[in-house]
Amino acid sequence: MAEPVRPEELRVSDVERTRVEERLRRAQEVGQLDLAEFDERVRATWAARTRGELERVIADLPEPPLAGSAVAKRSRVFSDTGGGTAMRVLTIIWTCLAVVNTTAWGILALTGIVVHPWPLWLLVPGAALAVLYAFGIGRPQRD
């Protein structure tokens, strides 16, 4: 009679490997793993053939905080804002240009020099930024 296979010697499926990879991803997001170690462990995960090999990949990792925790939220907001950083930079640049142009135009107008109100042309890129923001680009994702 054949001996039963020990649980750690059972073959693993892609579904089990995917679960371990997601756990590694959460551990990396909260700072338990650096990118190099994350990459190394993901490779080991997909090379694993048995549950024992798969368990060794995550054996030293404590259970990561739940997705709703403050650390996980902060990590998600800073890493996955859908262009949030770029939108903030573009908005700051646009605001600086608008202030400088409006100030220069205002000084000229106060000194009696009549010129076309060129700062109005800055409404065009401002409108483009507003449309992008309205469509969700640059806004933090809601839970």
pLDDT at 67: 55
Q: Which two tokens stand for residue 136?
A: 């969700």
Q: Is there a single domain that holds both residue 32 and residue 72?
A: yes
Q: Is there a single domain that holds both residue 72 and residue 125?
A: no
Q: Is there a single domain that holds both residue 19 and residue 44?
A: yes
Q: How far apart are CA 75 and CA 141, in angstroms?
A: 12
Domain extent for 28: 7-79
Q: How many CB atoms lie within 10 A of CB 79?
A: 10
**Stretch 27-38: mean pLDDT, rounded?**
91
- 108-112 long-range contacts (CB < 8 A, ≥24 apart) are none
Helices (H), 59-141: 70-79, 84-110, 123-134
Residue 13 Cα distances to 36, 53, 75, angstroms: 25, 12, 30
Q: Is there a single domain that holds both residue 65 and residue 125?
A: no
**pLDDT tens per residue across span 35-57:** 999 999 999 999 999 999 999 99
Q: Is there a single domain that holds both residue 52 and residue 14?
A: yes
**pLDDT tens per residue across span 75-115:** 444 444 556 788 888 899 999 999 999 999 999 989 988 88
User: Is residue 119 a contact partner of residue 102, using CB atoms and an 8 Å limit?
Assistant: yes
DSSP category for residue 115: -
Q: Is there a single domain that holds both residue 90 and residue 130?
A: yes
Please state whether the predicted TM-score (pTM) of the whole model is above 0.85. no
Q: pLDDT averaged over the chain?
A: 83
Among residues 51, 79, 107, the one where a domain terminates is: 79
Q: Is there a single domain that holds both residue 73 and residue 103?
A: no
User: Is residue 107 a contact partner of residue 113, using CB atoms and an 8 Å limit?
Assistant: no
